[in-house]
Amino acid sequence: MKSYSVVLFVPLILLISIGIAVENFTTKPKRRQALEVKKPEIVYDCNYFSAHRFHDSLNNHLEEYHSISEKQGIQPVEDEIAFKSFIAAEKLVKVKTSDYYYLDSFNYSFPVLTPEAKDFLDTVGARFNEMINKTELKGTKLIVTSLTRTTATVKRLVRVNRNASLRSPHLNGNSFDLSFDHFLFRGKNAPCSLFLLQETISKVLYDLRKEKRCWVTFERRQQCLHVVARKSDHSSKRGSLKDFNSLFLPQ
């Protein structure tokens, strides 16, 4: 009886050993593969932006661009009804929330821009998105706080905002404002998330201004970036993007 039990027990042990070996053979390579494809998380270099603070350099004045803005944009209109004729003539296009930016609720402006200014706004959003696309801030959108105004809305705005101008380029359809202190944030919080987003959009606009595609003013009181698009011979080249790798450090 004992010898019969031993005969049964030995094959059982062999079968269990073979089963464990097969499991290790099939599972271990998968675990090794998972470790091999894992890439280090990419984060921003906060010190880079702290040293440069691009928003401090965005200080264009109305006198620098007012006359050009008037020539390159539409003529000011009294009310929004006149926008319909400009849209029909393709001198204005409607602006809607996109993958790159969100339109805020407007009290003094309307969601239209000249075609060139609309294309430029899309370029700004695309470059901003590319800078954050491989970081924990991925998915964040810019917030557009102002677009094209009428002479009537400008007059109303001047009564409540002493920095507003009756000669505002917002009247010409080629200007927009971006929030500096608010973003549509859907990413993972980083130690200096807001600061990084602020300097990222400032860096984008700083580069585009160097390409002579816009004028930009950081308005501290309103905490917004006032942007005036300009026509130029520059295509939507992305040459400045080659420098963006310096803003990221693998951990």
Say whether both 137 and 154 belong to one domain.
yes
Say whether both 1 and 70 belong to one domain.
no
Say whether both 17 and 54 belong to one domain.
no
Q: What is the DSSP letter of 219?
A: E
pLDDT at 166 (0 to 100): 84
16: pLDDT strictly greater than 60: no
Say whether both 109 and 232 belong to one domain.
yes
pTM greater than 0.85 (yes/no):
no
Q: How far apart are the first and last CA of the chain?
A: 65
Cα–Cα distances (Å) from 219 to 34, 56, 112, 122, 178, in that order, read: 48, 10, 22, 22, 10
Structural domain range at position 11: 1-38
Q: Residues 130-147: what's their mean pLDDT?
A: 93
Say whether both 119 and 180 belong to one domain.
yes
Under a CB-based contact definition with an 8 Å cutoff, are residues 112 and 147 in contact? yes
The 10s digit of each residue's pLDDT in 197-237 is 999 999 999 999 999 999 999 999 999 999 999 987 554 44
Say whether both 31 and 54 belong to one domain.
no
The 10s digit of each residue's pLDDT in 28-77 is 444 334 334 344 344 567 788 888 899 999 999 999 999 999 999 999 99
Please tell me which residue, 135 or 8, carries the higher pLDDT value: 135
Say whether both 19 and 92 belong to one domain.
no
Say whether both 219 and 240 belong to one domain.
yes
Can you tell me the distance from the alpha carbon of 23 to that of 145, in angstroms, rounded to the nearest whole number?
59
Can you tell me the distance from the alpha carbon of 108 to that of 156, in angstroms, rounded to the nearest whole number?
8
Say whether both 122 and 223 belong to one domain.
yes
Can you tell me the distance from the alpha carbon of 154 to that of 171, in angstroms, rounded to the nearest whole number?
8
Burial category of 134 from C-beta neighbours within 10 Å (exposed 0-12, middle 13-18, buried 19 and up): middle
pLDDT at 8 (0 to 100): 47
Q: What is the DSSP letter of 24?
A: H
Pairing of strands 101-103, 142-146: parallel
244: pLDDT strictly greater than 50: no
Say whether both 152 and 176 belong to one domain.
yes
Structural domain total, the chain: 2
Bridge partners (DSSP) listed for residue 227: 176, 216
Average pLDDT over all residues of the chain: 81
pLDDT at 17 (0 to 100): 53
Identity of the residue numbered 6: V
pLDDT at 233 (0 to 100): 58
